Amino acid sequence: MFRRSLIQLIGLPAPVNFGGSPAQPIAMSPREAAIEQLAVEVFSKGNKILKVVDDLGTLPEGLHSFPEVCFVGKPSCGKSSVIATLCHNIKMGRTGRGGGRTTKLEFFNVGDCMLLVDTPSYGSWERRTVALNALGVTLMRRYISLRKEGNLKHVYWLIESPQYEFKMKYQSHVNARSRQVARDVLRIEPRDEEMLDFLAHEKVPFTVLLSKADRLQDKPDRIRRAIDDVHEFIGTDDIPVMPISCRPRSPAECRNVHELMCDITDKCCGELKDNELTLKGLHSLSYLPPTAQSIIAVEANYPVGAHVMPISNSRSISETVKLHNEAKLGFVRVRQASKLFGTSFYEKALGYSNDELVAPSHDAGVATSRLSHNSLTSSSTNSSVTTGTLVESPINETSSLVASPTASNEVLLTTKQQHDKLQVQQQQLAAMSVADLLPKNRENATTISNVLGVALPVTMVGASVTRAAKAIDRSADAYAEMVEAQGYYGIVNSSEDFFITAAGTPSHQERTLSERKNGPRYASHREIAKQRMLDKYVKGVRKDRSIQLDAHGYMCPWLGSNSGGGPRVKGSNVVTNGGSGALVRGLKESGFGGHSLSRKTTKNTFRATKKTGFWAT
């Protein structure tokens, strides 16, 4: 962690102190001094909203490929406020009462050198549906899992500082009251434990930000106590912890914002040498976009149905599953007692079709389905639980009790002996669990799990979550079907030189124009105009900041390869070998071409189409 930030961890006085009187500046290494200077330069260049992403197929790439850091946390923990304070722009991070305003991935371009990513909260949101909660948590985890090897350099986990409340204590002997300070321990909930398990499983480097640190009242003992609580929760003191207070509308009341800016710049410059710590060097970093195979693998590891969160953040998922099974068991017992099993009951309530459990049928107008007494009383020597099977038993028309077919809720009893058997069955059902009542051959198919070991019954996943999962999981298929996506990696892995066009061999842009000549006349003219503007940029006729292209076109860099098998760029810039997420240098300076791999980039035509901003020249 940046040294200036380490000073603040224990609440000691510092040049930009969190509490106490100012002290003499701490000596920094030449690299730390260069990073601090670069941080001031980057964050003073300007910023803009790059794009808002709702699936993995629309992540920024090409000219908008920069080192990224993301902010995660529970609702109302202050993620958007931190971004707005860092950017010195209250419009950058949307904040409001109730929390949960961020429902998608929001990318903010800072200085045309790095991206700040605001992620959806991982807890329960107020006034939000179950499907929206599940989509937000799934999108956040998929993004971190996909970009951790490439663009994503660090994760900042925001945890609210403990609240110190003043409680009124009444005295009995006099009509008076005195104030008593009650220390509130760090608020750690099951959602935080699940987030810690996720970060540990993905092995992502992260830093804990104690947000709303103004609650600590600039007292070193409270700051140290809060940091100790965080280390106790994590289980190690190797994770950096930084108290921070961000008020976008009151910059004078903010704390440790400058230290956070330096730390973010330090994480994004990890691949630069000491002599490359410049704005141009940081701008030159690019990364290959993810492949369709990697997107499909991440979506399979984190399905939407496995992220259905309880309404209360204080309730764990295992406890919620237990309560769900108990409620389902009670419903099963009631239906067993009534001896009426409909197809809709198993399909909608339990998730089983008519293939496993036989539904009631009508034979001569009247029939009933019941549990076989022999199957309930017989048990296997290898198993300690008994299971029941449903069989059909038509009622004799000469029986003393014949119910009308319309009386579907009445219990059909033919004789007193059947009534006694039913009582025995009900007693045995009371001792069974849900797993005993449900078929064994569908055990694996009735749960949805992820790589973290969370297994939820399919009955907890509502229809809205299922529809939302189908909509978001189509992104990888559409991504793989795009011709330009295959052509992009064909350029990377090819041995031809795509910068110097051989004699008689048309370039990629010429082939694209020739293929579109059969289309509308105005489309060809538009493509020719883009090509002319691109040629002027490559030849150096036009300035960088005058380039403003359609976001759907000319987003992917021109790539080439040398005889050694590794991809390179015009000008002999360094390009590392590797698949998705591999570091690439010099692409933004060498030119750009091809089509974007993002299928929804055109939605942000007027927000994310500039090659460089007017503030980043």
- Same domain assignment for residues 455 and 502: no
Q: Are 99 and 121 in contact (CB under 8 A)?
A: yes
Q: Is residue 194 part of a domain?
A: yes
**For residue 116, what pLDDT is reported?**
94
| 138/466 Cα distance (integer angstroms) | 13
For the cut 50, the answer to whether the pLDDT of residue 249 exceeds it is: yes
Do 140 and 122 form a contact (C-beta atoms < 8 A)?
A: yes
Domain boundary among 274, 307, 340: 307
28 lies in a domain?
A: no
pLDDT of residue 352: 44
604 part of a folded domain:
no
Q: Which amino acid is at 450?
A: N
pLDDT digits (tens, 9 = 90+) for 124-145: 766 678 888 888 999 999 999 9
Give me the pLDDT at residue 315, please. Answer: 84
Helix (H) or strand (E) holding 166: strand 164-171
At 388-400, the pLDDT tens digits run: 333 344 444 444 3
Question: Per-residue pLDDT tens for 184-200?
Answer: 678 888 899 999 999 99
Residue 418 lies in a domain: yes
- Look-up of token digits 């017992």: 333
Tens digit of each residue's pLDDT (9 = 90 or more) over 10-64: 333 333 344 444 445 567 889 999 999 999 999 988 888 888 888 887 888 877 8
24 lies in some domain:
no
295 and 321 assigned to the same domain: no
Q: Tell me how far apart the alpha carbons of residues 111 and 612 are, in angstroms, rounded to a whole number.
A: 9
Q: What is the rounded distance in angstroms from the CA atom of residue 262 to the CA atom of residue 241?
A: 15
Name the pLDDT band for 561 (thresholds 50, 70, 90).
very low
Domain annotation covers residue 472: no
Single residue among 253, 282, 307 that ends a domain in this structure: 307
Q: Which domain, by its residues, includes 501?
A: 483-596
CA 228 to CA 308: how far, in whole Å? 32
For residues 298 and 387, membership in a common domain is answered with no
Nearest partner of 47 among 100, 99, 116, judged by Cα: 116
Single out the residue in 425, 460, 495 at which a domain terminates.
460
The answer to whether residue 617 is domain-embedded is no
Same domain flag for 172 and 285: yes
What is the distance between the alpha carbons of residues 14 and 22, in angstroms, rounded to a whole number? 6
What's the pTM? 0.66
Are 454 and 423 members of one domain? yes
Same domain? For 286 and 328 the reply is: no
- 180 plus 102 within the same structural domain: yes
Quote the number of domains for the chain.
3
Same domain, 360 and 443: yes
Higher pLDDT, 553 or 1: 1
Do 78 and 98 lie in a common domain? Answer: yes
Sorted by sequence, the CB contacts under 8 Å of residue 559 that are 6+ apart come out as 488, 491, 492, 498, 567, 569, 575, 584, 587
pLDDT surpasses 90 at 267:
yes
Greatest C-alpha distance within the chain: 103
In terms of domains, do 284 and 211 share one?
A: yes
Asked whether 57 and 47 are in contact (CB, 8 A), the reply is no
Q: What is the pLDDT of residue 413?
A: 44
Confidence of residue 422 (pLDDT cuts 50, 70, 90): low
Residue 420, domain member (yes or no)? yes
CA 445 from chain center: how many Å?
25
- What is d(CA 104, CA 468) in angstroms, rounded to the nearest whole number? 14
The first and second tokens of residue 309, run together, are: 């969160």
Spatial distance between the Cα atoms of 562 and 566, rounded to a whole number of angstroms: 6
**DSSP strand pairing (164-171 vs 176-183):** antiparallel
Tell how many helices (H) and how many strands (E) occur in the chain.
Answer: 20, 17
Residues 338, 284 share a domain: no
DSSP β-bridge partners for residue 154: 69
- Residue where the block lists tokens 């106490």: 20
The torsion region of residue 218 among left (phi > 0), alpha (psi -120 to 50) and beta comes to: left
CATH number, domain of 197, equals 3.40.50.300
Q: Are residues 268 and 301 in the same domain?
A: yes
Query: What is the reported pLDDT for 265?
Result: 94
Q: Which residues contact 573 (CB under 8 A, 6 or more apart)?
A: 284, 585, 586, 587, 589, 590
